[in-house]
A and B are shown apart, each in its own frame.
Chain A
Amino acid sequence: MRVVTLKINGQEMSGRDDEDILHVAREHDIEIPTLCQLDGISEWGGCRLCLVEIEGSAKLSAACVTKVSEGMVVNTESERLAGYRKTIVEMLFTEGNHVCSVCVSNNNCELQDMSSDLKIDHISLPYRYPLRTVDASHDLFIFDANRCILCTRCVRVCDEAEGAHTWDIAGRGIQSQLVSDLHQPWGESTSCTSCGKCVEACPTGAIFEKGKAAGEMVKDAKFLVYLAEMKAEKS
């Protein structure tokens, strides 16, 4: 490990060469939007909201999985990036069935907050209205596929923090879907420990506690950082 110097948005800064752009930027109070990233679990680079421009590279890079390097010049804000980010979030809305007003996570939803931060006041793409089901077979929790954005935070937290690996993604492309165990009802899963970490990790109202009415599901996944640190100390 060595310390490198770089520039983000014209600001000189330094970081460790094993750190990614996202974390170095955040350490210096530069906010880059994310949905699939969650402190305490591994990076995935799936949502593509943290795309940034790096001088000398024609393509955009995901800040969460791109390590900083000496002399790197990064730009996190531009008209092009704003356009991409808006379109990504619009596509998330059109790909599922998100009805904020009656959702358990209304006013406590990262997707909703993101659309507000990105000033999305309408959706310019046609809605797909997919036919998706709700799995309420678990005693304590419900998985509503209508609200799932396939960020895989639940998959990673279940695998890395709990060690159960109940969740996974089945299918490809637009057919991709979250499944428990070998695509069986969550309530019949033999690997699920009912720990509830996936509920806290889920950024939307896709996974929530049974019995919650609209707007009542408040999530907090900060404990994951603490768990990760404790595990690292013991290993």
Chain B
Amino acid sequence: MSKIITIDPVTRIEGHSKITIHLDEQGEVEEALFHVTQLRGFEKFAEGRPFHEMPSLMARICGICPVSHLVASAKACDMLMSVRIPPTAVKLRRIINLAQIAQSHALSFFYLSSPDLLLGMDSDPVKRNIVGVARENPELARSGVQLRALGQEIIEILGGKKIHPGWVVPGGVSHALTAENRDHILKKLPEAIEIAERTIVWFSSQLQKFTEEIAVFANFPGLFMSLVGNNGELETYDGRLRLADDQGKVVADIPAEEYKSIVDEAINPHSYLKSPYYKPQGYPAGLYRVGPLARLHLAQTCGTPKADLAMTEFKKLDHKSAFHYHLARLIEILYAFEMIEQLLRDSEILDSHVRAHAAANAHEGFGISEAPRGTLMHHYKIDDNGLIIYADLVIATGHNSLAMNKGITQAAKHYIKNHKLTEGILNRIEAVIRTFDPCLSCSTHAVGQMALDIQLIDAGGTVLDRVVR
């Protein structure tokens, strides 16, 4: 008789979700599904709003990555205004976007995933959290706090506040950077760069402990998608949209605003998260992955010296495994702080011309940028008066929906044997999801214990096995 195992909620991720594992008549895992159980509705209630309000409104989608939405939304609005924004504004937007990526990656790696990586997947769940990490390896925990704090501080210095800043506006940014603020950030960067380098060395040395996880954590052939710079370098703000397979064979390389020609979205009854797929290969075969792993897989170089050194080693790894999202995240933290330093040393960075003003000059706009979790797409249509009549958002986490489902199915099939559940096994299945660092909302993050009740129930409703924490 068929059975379903439910993990609800999935812990140490951003947002509310659950996993169900479906067993067949023989008790073998048939498939596992990742259910996003929350609905936000931003596409609908943006309708009727003046487009100039969109960046701040869209930033409210998420308290972890508000800057990513600010940037993508402002870019879509630039297109509605049909303006080329001042070069300094582009550089300043790049800086705040990189700071966002760095702080979010630090949150994912150190706060959410390092408990599994340092203490072990089977360790006591009571201690398997950032507090446990701080006890076991205070320096590692401190590193996470410091990296995240600096990313947040840069956002605050530029945007006025750490969460939901409003500084990125249609046409550029609302005010210029001062020399004092530039110098303040510059002073703090060397330490962050050193911490990121040190953590990369440490984590690289740990990879051998995770051979089994690397082999079964969403490790399958398939496509990767990200923005790529004009010279093949890592790109987080602009550039072309590229899709390539795990061997690096490019299947699409198009102007980013033409993404709808190759990406379509499927709707699954089990989740509020839509499942985008690569159109030419159809659904669900057109599965692709986005985010730090995809970006580093597709980019030839980072474009900053220290990150490029780490990239050389990263290129030797098996990119098919989602486990390597973790290392990719650390390399991107290093890249982000190095690139922020480069941009801050630019001779034009203090220029006071940082905003172009215009009314609506086009009826449709696309804004595509790289958020911490992958390619973020905002698409708006407006009426003659500049009011939004249509908004479509393809969120980075959505792109990974198909890969996450396939990934947890793979891990569940590998780990669940003989109807027996252990907390460690279920934690591994959750950990597959954590490698993707899905951001399901701007929900808060409980430090420590979250309620988790996993039941193995047969078709007649009898509880066969149960794990509670």
* A13 close to chain B: CB less than 8 A: no
Q: Which of A101, A136, A187, A215 contacts B50 (CB 8 A)?
A: A136
Contacts of B359 in A (CB 8 A): 139, 210-211
**Looking across the interface, which residue of chain B has its beta carbon closest to that of A211?**
B52
Contact A134 B56, CB 8 Å, known A142-B50, A210-B359, A213-B169 = no
List chain A residues, Cβ under 8 A from B60: 101-102
For residue A216, CB closer than 8 A to chain B, the reply is yes
| Majority-rule SS of A interface residues | loop
Residues of A near B387 (CB, < 8 A) are 134, 136
Q: Does B398 contact A (CB under 8 A)?
A: no
Judging by beta carbons under 8 Å apart, are B53 and A133 in contact? no
Residue interface mask A110-142, B partner, CB < 8 A = 1: 000000000000000000000001101101001
A134 touches B49 (CB 8 A): yes
- Which residues from B are CB-within-8-Å of A213? 52-53, 55-56, 166, 169-170, 174
- Given A211-B52, A213-B170, A101:B385 Cβ within 8 A: no
Give min CB distance, A133 to chain B, whole Å.
Answer: 7
Please indicate the chain A residues that have their CB under 8 angstroms from the CB of B53 in the complex. 102, 104, 213-214
Is B57 interfacial (CB-CB < 8 Å)? yes
Point out the residues of chain B lying under 8 angstroms from A134, CB to CB. Answer: 48-50, 387
Residues of A200-235 at the interface with B, using a CB-CB cut-off of 8 Å, are 210-216
Contacts of A142 in B (CB 8 A): 50
Interface of B is mostly: loop
Q: Within residues 161 to 190 of chain B, which ones have a CB less than 8 A from any CB in chain A?
A: 164, 166, 169-170, 174
Is B151 interfacial (CB 8 A cutoff)?
Answer: no
Does B9 interact with chain A (Cβ within 8 Å)? no
Which residues of the partner chain B approach A133 to less than 8 Å between Cβ atoms?
A: 48
Closest to A140 in B: B359
* Measured CA separation A84–B37 after assembly (Å): 42
Most buried by B among A144, A187, A214: A214
Q: A185 — nearest CB in chain B belongs to which residue?
A: B385
Q: In this complex, what residue of B is CB-closest to A137?
A: B385
Instruction: Check if B386 is an interface residue, CB within 8 A of chain A.
Output: yes
Q: Which of A136, A137, A187, A210 has the most CB of B within 10 A?
A: A136
Contact of B84 with A by CB under 8 A: no
B357 lies within 8 A of chain A by Cβ: yes
* Binary per-residue interface labels of chain B (218-233) against chain A in the complex, 1 for a CB within 8 Å, 0 otherwise: 0000000000000000
With CB as the reference atom, state the residue of chain A lying closest to B383.
A136
Distance (whole angstroms) from the CB of B160 to the closest CB of chain A: 9
In angstroms, how far is the closest chain B Cβ from the Cβ of A119?
A: 23
Closest beta carbon of chain B to A47's beta carbon, Å = 26
- Say whether, besides A213-B166, A213-B169, A102 and B52 are in contact (CB < 8 Å): no
Alpha-carbon distance between A142 and B50 when the two chains are bound, in angstroms? 9
Q: Which residue of B is nearest A209, CB measured?
A: B52
Chain B contacts for A211, CB-based, 8 A: 52, 170, 357, 359
Chain A residues lying within 8 Å of B56, measured Cβ to Cβ, are 101-102, 213-215
Give the Cβ gap from B92 to chain A, nearest Cβ, in Å.
15
CA distance A29 to B399 in the complex (A): 61
Residue of A nearest to B57 (CB): A102
Which A165-222 residues have a C-beta within 8 angstroms of B? 187, 210-216
The docked-state distance in angstroms from the alpha carbon of A211 to that of B53 is: 8
Tell me, rounded to whole Å, the shortest Cβ–Cβ distance linking B369 to chain A.
Answer: 18
Q: How far is the CB of B358 from chain A (nearest CB, A)?
A: 8
Residue of A nearest to B358 (CB): A211
Q: Do A210 and B164 have beta carbons less than 8 Å apart?
A: no
CB distance from B236 to the nearest CB of A (A): 23
Within 8 A of A (CB), among B43-96: 48-50, 52-53, 55-57, 60
A183 CA / B174 CA spacing, docked (Å): 35
Chain B residues, CB < 8 A from A214: 53, 55-57, 166
What is the CB-to-nearest-CB distance from B74 to chain A, in angstroms, rounded to a whole number? 9
CB neighbors of A among B385-414 (8 A):
385-387
- How near does chain A come to B161, taking the closest CB pair, in angstroms? 11
Residues of A within 8 A of B385 (CB): 136-137, 187
The answer for the CA separation of A134 and B166 in the assembled complex, in Å, is 22
C-alpha gap A139/B358 in the complex (Å): 12
Residue from A133, A142, A213, A214 whose CB has the most chain B CB atoms within 10 Å: A213
Once the chains are docked, how many angstroms separate the CA of A110 from the CA of B48?
24
Residues of B contacting A139 in the complex (Cβ-Cβ under 8 angstroms): 359
**Leading 3 A-B pairs by shortest Cβ distance:** A214-B56, A136-B385, A213-B169
8 CB-based A-B contacts, threshold 8 Å? A101-B60, A134-B48, A136-B386, A210-B50, A210-B386, A211-B359, A214-B55, A214-B57
> Assuming A136-B387, A216-B169, what are 5 further A-B pairs, CB within 8 angstroms?
A101-B60, A134-B50, A210-B359, A213-B52, A215-B166
